[in-house]
Structure formats: C-alpha cells, structure tokens
Amino acid sequence: MQYFTEQALSQREALEKVRAKYGESAQVLSHRTVRLGGFMGLFAREGVEVTGYLRPEPRPQSRPPADLEEEKRKILALAGAPAAGQAAAAAAAMAQAKADQALQTVLAELRGLKERIDEMPRAAAEPEDHATIRRMDALLALNDFSEPFRREAVARLRRDFTLEALEDEDEVQSSVLEWIGDSLQLWRESSEPARPRVLALVGPTGVGKTTTIAKLAAIYSVGISGERPRSVRMITIDNYRIGARQQIETYGGIMGVPVSCVETAEDLRKTIAFHSDADLILVDTVGKSPRDAVKLAEMQRILAACGPAAELHLALSATTKASDMAQAMRQFEPFDYKAVVITKLDETDRIGNVVSALAERRKPISYITNGQRVPQDIERARAERILMSLEGFRVDRARIEERYGGASPQPEDRRVRAERS
C-alpha cells in the first residue's frame, strides 16, 4: 500500500494538495498541527500535516467462464490434481480440439463447394429462348467454352436468326461452328524468315515444351515432302536439371541435331551467334509456374538475348482448366509471345477453354500436339482440325474444309497422316 504525507498552512489547503496530487484514491487517515518554515526555530508558522494512503485500483472484471475453466484446468494439472480431475480436463481439451477440427473440415468443404459452384457453367441462354439457342449454349458449355464466349454466341443467335431459321438446327450448328472457326487466329511463318530463325518455347511446367521442341527439330531437320531439310540446332536453358538435359540430348543424339546447354543470357547470346549459319535455332526453357513472378522475370531477361527477331511461342496444355489457362496467358504476357502451341490435345475432348481464351486475347495458334510420339504427334494449327475435334457438333466436313481448308495441307500434316494410315 502506498502512503502519503502533505503539509499546508490550513487543513483545507492540505486536502486540496492531496486531491490534486493523488486524485480520488487518496484516503486521509489523520491530520496534526505542525510548525512550518522558519530559521533555527525562529519565524516558523503553524500549519497542518495530513497523512493517508492510496486506495488500490479496482480489480479488473472477472474473466469469462470459459477462461476460468481453462485456468482451473491448468492449475489442477500443475498442482497434480487427482487423476479424475486430470482426466476431466483432458477430455474437455480433446472435445474442444475435435470441435475445432470439425469446424475446419466444414469450412474446407464449404470453400470447395463455392469453388465448384463458381466453376460450374452458368447458362448463357434464358429459359424463354428458342430451344435451338438453348441447345447451342449447352453444346458450347459441354465443350468448356467460357461464359463470355457463350453469351456472345447466344446474343448473335438471337440477333441473326429468325424463329423460322432457328428451326433448322443443322444450319444453326454450322453457323456456330463457323463463328468458332472465324474466332481462331492461325500463326503463319514468315515467307522470308530471319536467318537463323530463332524459336523459343516458354510455358508452365510439364506442358510438353521439350517434347515439342524435339518434334519441331525432327520435322524441320529431316525436310518433308520436297521441302529442303533445314540445319537445326537446339539450345536448352534448362541446364541444372540433369534429367531435363539428358532428355533433350537424347533427342538430339537420335536426330543428329546438335544440342547446347546454357545458363546465362551471355551464354545464350554467344551460342546463338556461334550457330549463325543454322536455318533454325530452337530454344527450350525450363517450365515456370505462372505464379512465380521472380523466376519468370529472370527467364524473360535471359531470353532477351535471343534478339528482337526471335519468335516466342507459349506452350499451353489443352487439359488446363479455363481459369488457370487465363492466368498463364496473363502471367506470360510480358514475354510478348507471338503465338500459342496447344499441347496434349489427345488428352481431352473439350477444347472450348483454349479456343475462348485465345479468342479473347486474339492470340494465334502455331502448332498443335496430340500425343507423346516424337516426331509424329505434331501439326501446324488448322481451323478445321480444331473444329472437327469439338464434342457433340454434327460437323458438315465438306463445308468446313471448303471454308478453312483451302490451302493445301502443310507438308508435315501429310506425312503424319501417311504414317498413321
């Protein structure tokens, strides 16, 4: 307890001093008359001295019952409480842990449910729309076309078709197919490519970049159906993964295509300069997660050494879900990729996700790969090939080929077909 003593000329003044100094908590116990000031007993004046103590601060509010229980359990445990007490405390703790776990499970399930609901295709057509419009919307949803793409198609169907015309469902389907075909942009090689033509492939991990590079090296180095064989080189920036280096070196060994492994931008620049007599230099890169911005920036810095004329292509697997595909396209945007290689077309029947993502960003498709075999399973992108692989559409093949297949098939396409037949 804290005590105080204050002196003043009067009791009133002494009490005022106490209040001012210690506030309401001051409790005066006694007062007495004293002599104040003076010199050696002379000139002193009579005054008052008050003595008292400070009332302790009120105790904080008692804790809520749950905390009290917790305290009790701890004290019992510390004091070596009887076994029954400990058992009760342990049981209570376990019950609490179980309740927490159950809550976490429920929350995780709710989160998953929300994600699934968000991903569920919502109908772009209204119930009052003509049955053909609703069926077209369902067909596009079946093929994983994005909601904006389907909304656009539904709006166009409402606008361009009379009720009578909507009765001819085959004709409507053919029109929708043509709209899809027209939305596709195809990458065409320059008729006078730079020499050497440098083509680098970037993309998320495991989409098939190295396999695609090997396929391209094979088809261009062999020279197909009268095309002159090109002198091809492969460079990999994936130097530190032993398996990856072996993978591309094995392909190079089989095809007789020289392979160089580089680590830095300077290495890359020098290696390209060293192979300046080649027709085509293919650059394979290590797969990057689109979420890893730092590594993406580093790869971009290295690839700048390919020079301004280099073609950067983004490899995307057709099996990627629409939202991840959009994210990959966005994250690789700073690479200024010129075209997209769609890989693993053989692993899915639904490619609307790719088609709508490319249409929304106006990116052309350069190559399509549809299997693991090197070099057979690759072709230059063709609209009719993509349209034919759509699910559930009754395709008027002759009409599609007439519209999109005007140009004779690319040499490697003929070869691939010959090999398959």
Ligand X SMILES: Nc1nc2c(ncn2[C@@H]2O[C@H](COP(=O)(O)OP(=O)(O)OP(=O)(O)O)[C@@H](O)[C@H]2O)c(=O)[nH]1
Please identify the residue of the shown chain whose CB is closest to the bound ligand X.
287
Count of residues of this chain found to bind Mg ion when the rule CB under 5 A is applied = 2
CB 86 within 8 A of CB 76: yes
**Least distance (Å) between residue 305 CB and ligand X:** 19
212/198 Cα distance (integer angstroms): 15
Q: Which spans of this chain sit near ligand X (rule: CB under 6 A)?
A: 205-211, 238, 244, 286-287, 343-344, 346-347, 369-372, 377
**Least distance (Å) between residue 385 CB and Mg ion:** 25
The residue range among 82-90, 124-132, 203-211, 266-274 that interacts with Mg ion, by the rule CB under 5 A, is: 203-211
- Residue 193's closest CA among 104, 81, 127, 280? 280
* Residue 311 interface partner, choices ligand X, Mg ion, none, CB cut-off 5-8 Å depending on type: none
* Residue 211 interface partner, choices Mg ion, ligand X, none, CB cut-off 5-8 Å depending on type: ligand X
**Least distance (Å) between residue 269 CB and ligand X:** 22
Q: CB-wise, 209 or 233, nearer to Mg ion?
A: 209
Residues of this chain, 327-356, that bind Mg ion according to CB under 5 A = none
* Residue 121 interface partner, choices ligand X, Mg ion, none, CB cut-off 5-8 Å depending on type: none
- Residue 189's closest CA among 317, 283, 309, 329? 309
The residue range among 17-25, 99-107, 204-212, 256-264 that interacts with Mg ion, by the rule CB under 5 A, is: 204-212
* Contacts for 234 with CB less than 8 Å, ≥ 6 apart: 213, 214, 217, 248, 251, 252, 257, 258, 259, 260, 281, 282, 283, 284
**Least distance (Å) between residue 299 CB and ligand X:** 11
Long-range contact pairs involving 407-410 (C-beta distance under 8 Å, separation at least 24): 409/382, 410/379, 410/380, 410/382
Residue 205 token pair: 């991990």
Q: CB-wise, 167 or 347, nearer to ligand X?
A: 347
* Residue 358 interface partner, choices ligand X, Mg ion, none, CB cut-off 5-8 Å depending on type: none
**Least distance (Å) between residue 270 CB and ligand X:** 23
- Residue 214's closest CA among 325, 98, 341? 341
Phi, psi of 287 (to 5 degrees): -65, 140
Q: CB-wise, 173 or 236, nearer to Mg ion?
A: 236
* Contacts for 196 with CB less than 8 Å, ≥ 6 apart: 233, 272, 275, 276, 277, 278, 279, 280, 281
379/385 Cα distance (integer angstroms): 10
The helix/strand/coil state of 30 is: strand
* Residue 205 interface partner, choices Mg ion, ligand X, none, CB cut-off 5-8 Å depending on type: ligand X
Note whether 210 binds Mg ion by CB under 5 A. Answer: yes
**Least distance (Å) between residue 349 CB and ligand X:** 13
* Residue 353 interface partner, choices ligand X, Mg ion, none, CB cut-off 5-8 Å depending on type: none
**Least distance (Å) between residue 250 CB and ligand X:** 12
Residues making up the chain, counted from first to last: 421
Give 39's DSSP letter. B
Catalog residues that contact Mg ion under the rule CB under 5 A. Answer: 209-210
